[in-house]
Amino acid sequence: MGFAVHIRKAKLSDSPFIAELLDQLGYPIKKEYIYNKLQKYKHDSDEKLFVAVGNGSVLGFISIHFIPQIALPGDFARISYFCVDDKMRYNKIGSKLEAYCEKIAKERGCDRIELHCHARRKPAHRFYRNHGYIESPKYFVKML
């Protein structure tokens, strides 16, 4: 990678790029849908979406949700979606996004970051383990 990468808050104009990245993860979503979601994010202080930009292009993104804890002093951050362009993986872009998430979470008073990562995403599991995440054995979902 012969160019600098910086992280910034996502803009409405990033919608097509984010939609394309979500498609790479197996979520074929229209850019209009992402545009509308970004409109909502602008007004919710507990939802953050950041993009990694380099060489004039969006190379990846991370979506973070902040959740208060009642019984413990620190809140926690949940990574909802996280993707680096499949042509740009293994260039430390994901590491930069994850480090930025950690920085933001600490600034918000969080004592942990959690995420759900499907069992089929083996390379992602390695990434998270290499960045200090440990597996939590139970995850329950109720579809509505």
Q: State the CATH number of the domain containing residue 52.
A: 3.40.630.30
Residue 130 within any structural domain of the chain? no
In a domain, 103, yes or no: yes
Asked, for residue 57, whether it belongs to a domain, the answer is yes
Average pLDDT for residues 57-77, to the nearest whole number? 92
% of the chain residues with pLDDT over 70: 99
Q: Is residue 41 part of a domain?
A: yes
| Residue 1: per-residue pLDDT | 62
Q: What burial class does residue 47 get, using C-beta atoms within 10 Å of its C-beta: 0-12 exposed, 13-18 middle, 19+ buried?
A: middle
Domain count, the chain: 1
Contacts of 51 (CB under 8 A, 6+ apart): 7, 8, 9, 10, 14, 17, 18, 58, 59, 60, 61
50 — pLDDT class (breaks 50, 70, 90):
very high
DSSP string, 104-116: HHHHTTEEEEEE-
Cα–Cα distance list, 10 to 90, 98, 118 (Å): 22, 15, 25
Given pLDDT bands bounded at 50, 70 and 90, which one contains residue 108?
very high
Is 56 among the domain residues? yes
Residue 139 lies in a domain: no
List the domain range (segments joined by +) for residue 24.
Answer: 5-116
What does the block give as tokens for 66?
């902040």
pLDDT at 6 over 90: yes
Residue 121 lies in a domain: no
* pLDDT at residue 72 greater than cutoff 70: yes
